[in-house]
Structures are given as C-alpha cells and as structure tokens.
Amino acid sequence: MIELQLDRGRTQATLVEQLVNAFSDAIEQQTLRAGALLPSVRQLAQTERLSTFTVTEAYGRLVSMGLVVARRGSGYRVAARTAAAPRRSVTWQPPSLTATWLLSDVFADHSVPIKAGCGWLPNEWVNESGLHHALRSVSRVPAARMADYGHPYGFAPLRERIAEQLDRHGLPADPAANVLLTAGATQALDLIVRTLLRPGDRVVVEDPGYCNLLQILRLSGLTVLGVPRTPAGIDTDVFEQLVLEHKPKAIFVNTTLQNPTGATFGMAAAFRLLQIAERHGLWVVEDDVSRELAPPGAPLLAAMEGLNRVLYIGGFSKTITPGLRCGYVIAERDVLRELARTKMAVGLTSSAATERIVEKVLTEGRYARHVEAVTEKLKDAHLCVEERMDALGLEVFCRPRAGLFLWARLPVEPAQASELATQALEDGIWLAPGSYFRPADAASEWFRFNVPYSTDDALWEFVGRWKES
C-alpha cells in the first residue's frame, strides 16, 4: 500500500485527481508492480476518510488509462507491463467531439480528466451518509409494498414533502392535485411539450438556454425562437416584439441560477414577463431545478402568478444526485391531470423505489445541512474560479457566487470556438462552447464553466496558452 498525502485545500486538484496521480506515479515508479492488488473501494475510503464515490471514480479513471484492471471478485490490480508504463498525457485518447458524444455518450464517458463543461456536482460532494441511510430504510420496506406500479402522480409522501418545501417559498400546492412526480426535470419538460404543444407551434426560449430543452423542442417539431438572456432575466422588450410578430404558444425560462449563465431573474423582468404572457395567452414553463442552491428572495413566477398559466418544474439532481432521476411538475389541477395521462401513455408510472429514497433523504438524511454545506463550497469555488478568470482578463457575464455555473467570454473568435473545444479535449479538458446553448446553434465566444470542476490549474494554464497564441 502506498502512502497517500491528500491535500483537501479547496484551491488544489480534486481528491479524485490526487488519487489518480498518486497511483499513476506509484505504478510508473514500480512502487506498485504488475499484479499488485489495490485496496478495496471501501477500505481505501475508510482509511483516507473519503467518499466511496470518490474512490470508485478514481479507480475507474485508472482503468480507462490502462494502468489498472478490474476483475469481478478479484478487485482492482495493477495491469501487466508490456513496456514502460506511459503517463496519462501519452496514453489518454480523447473522444471525438461529436453531437452523439455531447448528447448521450458524455454521461457514460468517465475518461476526460477535467470536466469543466459538465452539468453536475462532483461525486465527492454527494450526501453519502444521507443516501446510505435512505437506502437502508427503503431496503426494509416489505417487498409486497414495492411490487405494484405505484400511483400515476408518484409516491404520495414525497409529493407532500415537495409541497411543504414550495410552501416555504410562497407557492401553495395541494400534493394530491398539483404535484406530479417525473423521472427527472427533463422528463417533466418532455411531458409538458407533448401535452400542451403540437408540431409547428412556435415557442420562445432563452438565448443562451438549457441545451437539452432545445433538443426536446426540435424532436417535437416545434419552431424555436430565442430571446436574449441578460443578468437580470430575459430582454422583455425583445420578448414582447417576438410575441406580437410570431404569436408563440409558450415560453420556457430558467428562473434561478440559470443554466448556462448562472443568472437569476430580477423582480422587474419577472413581473413584465408574466404581464406579457397573460395579455397574449402564453404558457410559461418555469424550470427551477437550482432553487435550493440560490440565495433567498429570488422571484418565483408560479407563486407570483398562481398556476393559472405557469407550470413549475423542480428536481433534486443539483442537491441530492442526478443518478436518482427524480423531478416534478407543479400545475393547475386540470392541466396536471392531462400531464399524468401523458406520463402513463409514454412510460407508465415513475420509479416508486427512487421516490422513496428521495423522500427518506429529505426527511431523515440531514438534507438542509447538506444543502447548506454544498452552498458554502460553491461560494468558495466561485471566488476561486472568478479570480482565475479575472487574472486572464476574461469577461464574466455575471457573478452569482452560487449555483454550478459561470458564463465567460474566452479570447477566441466565435467561429473558432469549436476548434478551441477540440484542442482542449486533446489536453484532457472538456469545455462547453456557447453554441451548444443557442437556439440556432449559432457560433459564440462564450463558454459555460461548471465551477466545482474548474479549479484545476491545468485548465487555466491551457486558457492562458491559447490567449497568448
């Protein structure tokens, strides 16, 4: 067993990266020889006071680098050496930067060392103790109670917990009539599109906006119109002009800590958006999955309007874990009934087992304390990344000091953004160019940065080299 000296300082490499580098060095120097058995995931996690998620990801990277092999029942062993073990920079082969990789393979591809362009929290930030407690609790539920499909609206106790949460934000909701559970917020968006809109309808989205939403709308045959997103919300003058000229059926907005910019609506833009929607009969779809990470006081459109024309979407991917795939829609009673019918038609009920786990995390997993801790970590990470951006003279769209994202302009012509992203990927850095988030796939010199994944020195050394070239 090698001696590990992990630096838990917030401005250094992540714990996963430190583990990978430590084992890579030991293998190259033959401190760990071919065939040597690595500590089990649980053993290393306990010895070094780490999350099992952290150790699992580190071991997975070592496997993808060809330094370690995993055999069922035998654990992780150092791979046989047919030649001098090469370093990561030599052996790592970047994936092809294609639409397929960006839309699907990226979620299964763990080979990219620096995931500055991803959309989720680091695995080591997961509420591990809360999840383990919830899993143990659910494992004791009698099998007979888990055997059927469950309720079309979802697990009732979780709907009650969600209603309680929203009531604290000023949005009263009847858990029996206004809350529908879904397999993540993305499914909630899809159900709304399938239920309320038809091919050929025009809809308005933020520019830039949530990239997965853009794909849902295109697959549904809708005409997508972009309205500029500002640090204080959408440009309501442009929005009103779009409504007058094109008569769209709906607008989709990310109210709080928007993906990709990190911006939050101001009260003035929120009021005017609702006034325009009411005057012209638009549906307002409010995607608000980062609400729990935001400072208090951010406008909540559904609470301001009262669910007459607003459909509210939330979820737990940014606070519990995206792997559980649990989201929800809040809507007026009759609208929700139609959404539930669509849900049953395309996929039957959502996972009652998953919903039970989430409910246990909320009620027994010290959820509030976990969210508070994540919020503090995010604030520190924002300060760190902003400092690196300022030092390189990058333009930062806004500085929320909360949530996952910063939106920054890099020293590149819009047409060269894809070239920069490809070059970064060859260096083991995943960047997310602004074109991914624009309705017309228009080129952009702006990039989305996932703050917790953007503290690595190698990322900013790469940007600095590009800037000087």
96-147 pLDDT per residue, tens: 555 444 555 454 555 678 899 999 998 888 888 888 888 888 888 888 777 7
Distance CA 180, CA 379 (A): 32
Q: Which residue has the higher pLDDT, 33 or 103?
A: 33
| 466, 412 Cβ separation under 8 angstroms | yes
Look up residue 465 and give its amino acid: R
Tokens of residue 199, six digits: 């091919």
Backbone angles phi, psi at 290, to 5 degrees: -105, 15
pLDDT of residue 413: 87
User: Which one has a higher pLDDT value, 62 or 340?
Assistant: 340
For position 27, what pLDDT does the model report? 86
The answer on pLDDT for 59 being more than 60 is yes
pLDDT score at 87: 41
Query: Residue ranges of the domains in the chain?
Result: 15-91, 99-125+369-468, 130-364
Give the type of residue at 279. R
Residue 426 confidence class, pLDDT cut points 50, 70, 90: confident
* Highest-confidence segment of 40-49, 325-334, 348-357: 325-334
Shortest CA distance to 284 belongs to which of 262, 303, 297, 261? 303
Alpha carbon 411 to chain centroid, angstroms: 26
pLDDT of the residue at 140: 87
| Res 65: pLDDT | 75
- What pLDDT score was predicted for residue 123? 84
CB 315 within 8 A of CB 168: no
pLDDT-wise least confident of 127-136, 170-179, 310-319, 327-336: 127-136
Higher pLDDT, 425 or 230: 230
Q: Taking the CA of residue 443 as centre, how many other CA atoms within 13 Å lie in the half-sphere pointing to its CB?
A: 11
**CATH 1.10.10.10 corresponds to the domain 15-91:** yes
Q: Give 99-125+369-468's CATH code, choosing from 3.40.50.300, 3.90.1150.10, 3.60.20.10, 3.90.180.10.
A: 3.90.1150.10
Residue at token pair 């009021």? 271
What pLDDT does residue 198 have? 96
Q: For residues 34 and 228, give the distance between their C-alpha atoms in angstroms, rounded to a whole number.
A: 56
pTM: 0.79
CATH class of 130-364: alpha beta
Q: Which residue has the higher pLDDT, 124 or 207?
A: 207
Give mean pLDDT, residues 201-209. 97
Say yes or no to pLDDT of 84 above 50: no
pLDDT value at 389 more than 80: yes
Residues 6 or more apart in contact with residue 413 via CB below 8 angstroms: 445
Mean pLDDT of 280-304: 95
In the chain, what percentage of residues exceed pLDDT 70? Answer: 91
Q: Which residues contact 382 (CB under 8 A, 6 or more apart)?
A: 399, 400, 401, 402, 406, 451
pLDDT attached to residue 300: 97
Asked if 311 and 335 touch (Cβ cutoff 8 Å), the reply is yes
Total number of residues shown for the chain: 469
Is 441's pLDDT higher than 50? yes
> Where is average pLDDT lowest: 56-60, 304-308, 405-409?
56-60
Token pair belonging to 188: 């909630």
| Torsion (CA) 238, 242, 248, 253 in degrees, nearest 10 | -20
The dihedral sign for the CA sequence 225, 229, 233, 235 = negative
> Is it the case that residue 242 has pLDDT exceeding 80?
yes
What are the pLDDT digits (tens) for 248-258? 999 999 999 99
Residue 190's pLDDT is what?
97
Comparison of pLDDT for 82 and 136, the residue scoring more: 136
Residue 82 confidence (pLDDT): 55
Write down the mean pLDDT value for the chain. 88
Which pLDDT tens digit goes with each residue over 330-378? 999 999 999 999 999 998 899 999 999 999 999 987 899 999 999 999 9
pLDDT of residue 464: 92
Give pLDDT, residue 148: 80
- HEC profile for 228-267? EEECCEECHHHHHHHHHHHCCCEEEEECCCCCCCCCCCCH
DSSP characters for 370-408? HHHHHHHHHHHHHHHHHHHHHHTT-EES---SSSSEEEE
| Res. 174: pLDDT tops 80 | yes
Please state, for a pLDDT cut of 90, what percent of the chain lies above it: 59
